Structure 1
Amino acid sequence: CCQPNEEEVEILGPFPAQTPSWLVNDCKDEKETNSEAIAFDASATPQKSSPKRQSSNWEMSRSTYSLARQLSSMESQRPSSPLVDIKPIEFWAMGSRKEAVQPAILRKPYDKSEDYFRKLEPQLYSADSSGDDVDSLTDDEIVLRYQLGMLHFSIQYDLVHNHLSVRVIEARDLPPPVSCDVSRQDMAHSNPYVKISLLPDNKNSRQTGVKRKTQNPVFEERFSFKLPFLEAQRRTLLLSVIDFDKFSRHCVIGKVTMPLGDVDLVKGGHWWKALVPSSQNEVELGELLLSLTYLPSAGRLNVDIIRAKQLLQTDMCQGSDPFVKIQLVTGLKLVKTKKTSCMKGTIDPFYNESFSFKVPQEELSEVSLVFSVYGHNMKSSNDFVGRIVIGRFSTGPPEANHWLRLLGSQRTPVEQWHTLRSRAECDRVSLASLEVT
């Protein structure tokens, strides 16, 4: 599209295999000029043809040398990046066979790890290959493997009253107590009951009565959970069969879980389900809701026992008769003891009782409050349920956090739920617990 210039030549791409047309024409014009000059000199001076022929040969070699210099200068002046897109270049060998070569930047680097992963067999790592996957087993296979028995229950949702009804009917072929507690090898039968929970909220749970000395208990109890229909479909029903033990912590025999989104809740139904082992071998002791307030001007520490829930059942016949004992320990000395009233036949008592302790502000950092829950027993000593310690010798991070919140916000009530601990655990981590034992 433009005439080439000797001073600056722009190359838009790599040289093709053939010589450019403009370069061929330029050479032809120069050869024709040289031939005309030689012919003119020969006709003008034929007697000196030999020297002139030598001169023309020298001029042709000179023009060839200048052309080579132009090509080398054009090669050095080639721009670093071409102005047009270059397609993959093809190079031909001298023979008739043609081989296409792609630019190196477009080639995918070789990865040795691909050969390693090709040797793996995915079926060996799938979930179905796991021998411990309970979901892949039938109820008969679960019974043969674990031998924990079966549970009969029913579920139905009431759209009119917006509540879920769970009926615990019976259980059969439960294992003897020896599989749960070694200390009860002399006993031939269990004392089973069933705890019903809706996961993931495991707080609002219910439980049946205890059936004495039987491996085939008949419960026939119905429980109602107030919740919307869409919320019920997102929950998972957990039924835990527990062996009651008055002298130690209760033992979980087995459990049954059923996602409520997989069943027709309105139509409802009955199911026999095999019990599977539970990771929670022992039943939790329950929870206690407390509120603490300190009045620095009066030098008084106020304690409110609001309620407790899901306490460990201590009476096999009529539930528990729980009460709470509050003990003030200053340093390592027991100063004062108070207790709530006894709530009859319940494991979810409401107290709403307040207590006040005289504590000067300079002694507040040395104070510990010991809360112990007992089940009232008229025939013998009261049954211990659980304990926590709040203050200088707290029994854990939740208790310590509650005390720090009290110190940071005086004159303001500070309320918090606490999970009860065993006596041995409290004695191991708190010196104040040892003083009140």
Structure 2
Amino acid sequence: MEMELQLLPLRWRGLLARISDLLLCRWTCRNCCQKCFDCSCCQTNEDEVEILGPFPAQTPAWLISSQNEDKDGDSDNTISELPPTLEDVSPDRRRSSSDTSRSTHSLTRRISSLESRRPSSSLIDIKPIEFGVIGAKKEIVQPTILRKTYTPDDYFRKFEPRLYSLDSNSDDMDSLTDEEILSKYQLGMLHFSTQYDLLHNYLIVRVIEAKDLPPPISYDGSRQDMAHSNPYVKICLLPDQKNSKQTGVKRKTQNPVFEERYTFEIPFLEAQRRTLLLTVVDFDKFSRHCVIGKVSMPLSDVDLVKGGHWWKALVPSSQNEVELGELLLSLNYLPSAGRLNVDIIRAKQLLQTDMSQGSDPFVKIQLVHGLKLTKTKKTSCMRGTIDPFYNESFSFKVPQEELENASLVFTVYGHNVKSSNDFIGRIVIGQYSTGAPESSHWRRMLNAHRTAVEQWHSLRSREDCDRVSPASLEVT
């Protein structure tokens, strides 16, 4: 057969070799003429180094440029484990695996050479983890972890003793039932209801009645009789305590029946974030009104649309006395005319002085130069209200050189026909102001000539004003 192939022309000989390679060598080994899956020549040796690819079909330029440098090679660029030598390979495979081992070893050396030339700078400055070599005892060195050691003093210093102290008086109100609160404080109970009107977008609060209210405390600390018990209820939606409402005063009773209904114009979603606060107050014409107790209920805990009725036990309030009310004023100074203009706009939530009709409040304005009273004016009297609207203007002659020594005293009274007028509250604005809000209002007016400056002021008691302002002592 070989003789016949040699006699054929060279052109035909090459063609037959290609056909034989195409038909036979796809399935037959050219070295041993056996099937490839049975041939030991074509089996993969587990000792051979596996090259992870895929590598490009053409050798990259950077690999060719480094080929000449790798020829000389030094001991530093060699790898620790070399591919199997020719002696370790079986004689039948020595011919086919020698070329593969040689190319594998060469490529591995080139890759290790390039890895050694990479820059050694790290992006993150961290301490490298060092591992020990597994020795005869197979002791593995774990990475070192730096931990802060705590002494017993440091450990216990993190605790706050006040949070873990046993205090019998620090009971949580929320954890007590109404019966437990009633037996502990004995302040009585309040009956009320709530419901939200989705059609008109307002909240309805109905104060129905109260029972077993304690009588007020006298000046010597003892309880008075039922004849001095004159309760009423103030209603507000926290955190807005300024826009509150209040019921009428029920005379000489510890079980008052109010049956009064109030509405708060507020969106439904906003109402769910508010807390209903009901404060039961005892009316005292000749002294400041005293708070008996309070009930607070988050509106998010109830079904506002469906509504409901509740009996709630009263708990003590940190506010022992009721606020006297607020007054809205506007000040304006004209330097060219030397005139100090004052506008009494309105007041709200004034202390009630009349048990049956609320109050008949009016405001008295007095100008004091230094410590001398020079001028007095007053507004009209608003009948039967604790939220009066005045909108009245007054003008005082004050030269600019005397302005720094001037003070304005505003006093709110409740009109009384049978006796002297009932004092409600007072503030002083000017040289002898009664507090920081009053001083701020005066400075704003001085810095804004010919411009009206408005501000709300909380009324103070006569004793507080006389203690801090000499101008309050000069007026009646």
Instruction: Name the TM-score class by shorter chain.
Output: 0.7 to 0.9
Whether 1:359 and 2:379 are equivalent positions in the alignment is no
Shift of 1:110: 4.3
1:90 maps to which of 132, 140, 149: 132
Determine if contact 1:181/1:251 at 8 Å carries over to the other structure: no
Determine if contact 1:149/1:171 at 8 Å carries over to the other structure: yes
Whether 1:177 and 2:208 are equivalent positions in the alignment is no
One-letter amino acid of the counterpart of residue 5, structure 1: D
Matches within 5 A, 1:12-411: 89-92=131-134, 96-104=136-144, 107-112=145-150, 116=155, 125=164, 131-178=170-217, 182=220, 185-188=223-226, 189-411=228-450
Alpha-carbon separation, structure 2, partners of 1:81 and 1:129: 67
Compared with structure 1, are the counterparts of its residues 2 and 285 closer, same or farther at alpha carbon in structure 2 (3 Å cutoff)? farther
Shift of 1:118: 12
Alpha-carbon separation, structure 2, partners of 1:222 and 1:160: 18
Compared with structure 1, are the counterparts of its residues 110 and 395 closer, same or farther at alpha carbon in structure 2 (3 Å cutoff)? closer
Shift of 1:203: 1.4
CA-atom RMSD in angstroms: 3.3
Compared with structure 1, are the counterparts of its residues 168 and 186 closer, same or farther at alpha carbon in structure 2 (3 Å cutoff)? closer
One-letter amino acid of the counterpart of residue 411, structure 2: S
Deviations 1:195-217 (A, max 9, x none): 00011111111101111111111
Alpha-carbon separation, structure 2, partners of 1:267 and 1:391: 53
One-letter amino acid of the counterpart of residue 139, structure 2: E
Alpha-carbon separation, structure 1, partners of 2:78 and 2:120: 10
Residue 204 of structure 1 aligns to a residue whose secondary structure is strand
Alpha-carbon separation, structure 2, partners of 1:291 and 1:358: 17
Compared with structure 1, are the counterparts of its residues 299 and 184 closer, same or farther at alpha carbon in structure 2 (3 Å cutoff)? farther
Compared with structure 1, are the counterparts of its residues 98 and 194 closer, same or farther at alpha carbon in structure 2 (3 Å cutoff)? same
Alpha-carbon separation, structure 2, partners of 1:204 and 1:435: 33
Determine if contact 1:128/1:136 at 8 Å carries over to the other structure: no
Shift of 1:265: 0.8
One-letter amino acid of the counterpart of residue 210, structure 1: V
Alpha-carbon separation, structure 2, partners of 1:403 and 1:111: 60
Shift of 1:144: 1.3
One-letter amino acid of the counterpart of residue 98, structure 1: K
Compared with structure 1, are the counterparts of its residues 293 and 21 closer, same or farther at alpha carbon in structure 2 (3 Å cutoff)? closer
One-letter amino acid of the counterpart of residue 222, structure 1: R
Alpha-carbon separation, structure 2, partners of 1:412 and 1:387: 25
Shift of 1:108: 3.7
Structure 2 segments unaligned to the other structure (5+ residues): 1-69, 86-117
Residue 264 of structure 2 aligns to a residue whose secondary structure is strand
**TM-score computed with the length of structure 1 as normaliser:** 0.77
Compared with structure 1, are the counterparts of its residues 11 and 354 closer, same or farther at alpha carbon in structure 2 (3 Å cutoff)? farther
**TM-score computed with the length of structure 2 as normaliser:** 0.71
Compared with structure 1, are the counterparts of its residues 110 and 11 closer, same or farther at alpha carbon in structure 2 (3 Å cutoff)? farther
Determine if contact 1:163/1:224 at 8 Å carries over to the other structure: yes
Alpha-carbon separation, structure 1, partners of 2:392 and 2:121: 89
Residue 371 of structure 1 aligns to a residue whose secondary structure is strand
Residue 311 of structure 1 aligns to a residue whose secondary structure is coil
Shift of 1:116: 2.9
Residue 428 of structure 1 aligns to a residue whose secondary structure is helix
Shift of 1:243: 0.6
One-letter amino acid of the counterpart of residue 238, structure 2: L
Structure 1 segments unaligned to the other structure (5+ residues): 13-19, 26-78
One-letter amino acid of the counterpart of residue 450, structure 2: R
Alpha-carbon separation, structure 2, partners of 1:351 and 1:118: 60
2:457 maps to which of 396, 400, 418: 418
Deviations 1:377-427 (A, max 9, x none): 111111100000000000001000110011001111111100000000000
Determine if contact 1:177/1:243 at 8 Å carries over to the other structure: yes
User: What's 1:5 paired with?
Assistant: 74
Compared with structure 1, are the counterparts of its residues 275 and 11 closer, same or farther at alpha carbon in structure 2 (3 Å cutoff)? farther
Compared with structure 1, are the counterparts of its residues 127 and 195 closer, same or farther at alpha carbon in structure 2 (3 Å cutoff)? farther
Residue 103 of structure 1 aligns to a residue whose secondary structure is coil
Alpha-carbon separation, structure 2, partners of 1:215 and 1:359: 53
Residue 348 of structure 1 aligns to a residue whose secondary structure is coil
Count of aligned residue pairs for this structure pair: 368
Shift of 1:257: 0.6
Compared with structure 1, are the counterparts of its residues 419 and 92 closer, same or farther at alpha carbon in structure 2 (3 Å cutoff)? same
Alpha-carbon separation, structure 1, partners of 2:78 and 2:186: 86
One-letter amino acid of the counterpart of residue 373, structure 1: V
Residue 100 of structure 1 aligns to a residue whose secondary structure is coil
Deviations 1:264-295 (A, max 9, x none): 11110000001111111100000000011111
Compared with structure 1, are the counterparts of its residues 101 and 148 closer, same or farther at alpha carbon in structure 2 (3 Å cutoff)? same
Alpha-carbon separation, structure 2, partners of 1:82 and 1:323: 83
Shift of 1:146: 1.1
Alpha-carbon separation, structure 1, partners of 2:216 and 2:398: 49
Compared with structure 1, are the counterparts of its residues 336 and 322 closer, same or farther at alpha carbon in structure 2 (3 Å cutoff)? same
